[in-house]
Structure 1
Amino acid sequence: MLARSDVVVPVPDDVDPVLGIYLAQMGPICANGLLHAAAELAPGRDVRLGDGVAGRTVLVTGAGVVGLLCALLAQLHGAAEVVVADPDPHRLAVAGRLGLDHLDTSSTEVWRWCKDRWRHGPGDRGADVVLQCRARSAVLHEALRSLRPQGSVIDLAFYQGGADDLRLGEEFHHNGLTIRCAQIGRVPRGLAPDWDRLRLAQETARLLRARGTDLRAHLLTDVVPERDAPGALAALARRERAGTQVVIEYPRRRSAVPGAGSADG
């Protein structure tokens, strides 16, 4: 039986049913990130999901599932340019197959690349917005360095070990930057009447319609039978498995909803 707080979003008929895993949580997390960018860069009551990225230069730090979905959403909503940054060659290869521009952070100074690439005027260089999707405080610091003056980092990460590598006495202070936390537990202040979990899921469905074939081919890398799930999840935890998105397939005779695991981090 459904609780009053449950949200039911049917998988569109023209979308591979397995992609429905993104409707429950992962997709709304990413859509909520874009919504926070919209509230920060184009404030107002009648906010559209793409208002924070449309016509803007967007850096996405992290090429895990969250980062790649955020990048695709930014593309879908009219970003002028989207670049994904990550040190993992497997993840960068997936980004490339999805048609996303990408940077290898193990060999490229991302902040310098952004300042050289995106020149808006004298003393005004860097990304308009960074969608920060890696749970490392050093990456958050790099995100701040990559922004143009008065730019914004929309932070979707969760720093379980604290943020010892974050420095706020440099670009953050001198360039008047903003860090806005975007967690799925809440939408931006004042937008709850118009933006709930159902609407975020519906925006995810829009992405699945537009890019579902590519997502199924390149992002959803492994479908694992239920009996093999413990070993697959253990291999993910030990970083021994290179799959980007792992889905657990239950026998058809059971009514359980398919589960999903990812190698984000």
Structure 2
Amino acid sequence: MPHIVQFTEPGRVELVETDAAPLSPGMVRVATWYSGISAGTELTAYRGTNPYLNATWDAERRLFVPGQPSFAYPVQGWGYSEVGQVVEVADDVTAPAVGDVVHGIWGHRSDAVLPASALAWRVMPSSADPVLGTFARVGSIALNAVLAADVRLGERVAIFGQGVIGLLATRLASLSGGRVYAVDTVAGRLAKAAEFGALETVDALRDGGAGAYIRERTDGGADSAIELSGADRALHEAVRSVVVEGLVAASGFYQGGAANLRLGEEFHHNRVRIVASQISGVPVGLGGRWDQPRLVRTVMDLILSGAVDAGALVSDVVDAREVADVFRRLDAGDPGILQAVLRFDAAPERS
């Protein structure tokens, strides 16, 4: 029987059996090898804080409204960083082929039936470590944030939050010519940020705040900032860190209120611009040239060429049956975890 990760209730996640989907025209069946956990998003399901679990998303009005939640426990199918092997194709499918290793979005499940058209351009090179395919989506989120912050050659950018996506953003901003000030509370993540090209690393808990320190170090403020931790205090410090009329890309997934974001202070007096960066769309000014497939292709080209060492971010590759333990560690803030990857039974032995 195929298996799928299920958030049964707040604080409880497990691997459960599920039915295999039938193969229909235009579709392929993929046996999942690896599935990366996106800690920020998925912890909202584990903790019960995701707005979809507490309100209805009205897609036509683009509003959350009170009423029956859009999702209710048990919640299945979350996860958007998968890689696996095509094991069956419909008669009318020419690509991808049986045996191809592909990356994509189909959730933490051992077996998935997907449109061939969605995977034909997502085939992994045979020489590549297949785990690298789990970075396509998170890398795209990081790149989208860098584009939203309008990072340019020689400009200074403060990046708050050096988890997986923050570290990828640090590397991508550095490759774009940005001079990155990487901010976090975890020493190990700051050390990795330096390896990924940060000009300077900053302890978020330093006296006076990271924002004031960055303003001093840059003689007036960073040109832009990217906030990826999802903490309102970090967003406030990002606002404090930039120049007058500076730009802040708010890319974290913020939960609840924002008591630490004080809009009457630096935001108001320095006329700071805050823009939301979310993977469902690219920055408005780039809409004619960039889209989600281009984000994915760009990131994967950089990863597969070695320009972005995504493999260095993998801290844990665990059997999918151990998913509950991984989420307990993530929920507790285990500083030893960067990218945790679930391994399913079809995955080959890693060297």
CA separation of 1:249 and 1:180: change in aligned 2, threshold 3 A: same
Q: Which structure has more helix as a fraction of its residues? A: 1
Which structure ranks higher in relative contact order (CA pairs < 8 Å, sequence separation ≥ 6)?
Answer: 1
Q: Does 1:135 align with 2:135?
A: no
Q: Does 1:88 align with 2:180?
A: no
Q: Percent identity?
A: 36
Q: Does 1:20 align with 2:133?
A: yes
Say what the alpha-carbon RMSD is for the aligned residues: 2.3
Structure 1 gaps, min length 5: 39-51, 120-124, 255-265
Distance in 1 of aligned mates of 2:173 and 2:285: 23
Q: Does 1:111 align with 2:211?
A: yes
Equivalent position amino acid for 1:104 in 2: D
Alpha-carbon displacement from aligned partner over 1:34-83 (angstroms, at most 9, x marks no partner): 22223xxxxxxxxxxxxx3322101000111111111100011111x111
1:244 Cα shift? 0.7
Q: Does 1:32 align with 2:137?
A: no
Distance in 2 of aligned mates of 1:19 and 1:253: 14
Count of residues in Structure 1 that have an aligned counterpart in Structure 2? 232
Equivalent position amino acid for 1:117 in 2: R
Which shifted more, 130-139 or 245-254? 245-254
CA separation of 1:177 and 1:5: change in aligned 2, threshold 3 A: farther
Alignment of 1:91-102 (within 5 A): 91-100=189-198, 101-102=200-201
Larger Rg computed on CA atoms: 2
Equivalent position amino acid for 2:326 in 1: A
Equivalent position amino acid for 1:107 in 2: R
1:60 corresponding residue in structure 2:
159
- Residue from 289, 298, 305 that aligns with 1:203: 298
- Residue from 63, 70, 73 that aligns with 2:172: 73
Distance in 2 of aligned mates of 1:187 and 1:77: 17
Alpha-carbon displacement from aligned partner over 1:139-171 (angstroms, at most 9, x marks no partner): 111111111111100110121112121111122
CA separation of 1:173 and 1:70: change in aligned 2, threshold 3 A: same
Q: Does 1:6 align with 2:104?
A: no
- Residue from 169, 178, 193 that aligns with 2:264: 169
Q: Which structure has more strand as a fraction of its residues? A: 2
1:192 Cα shift? 3.2
Equivalent position amino acid for 2:236 in 1: H
Alpha-carbon displacement from aligned partner over 1:68-105 (angstroms, at most 9, x marks no partner): 111100011111x1111011223223324434331112
- Give the SS at the match of 2:327: helix
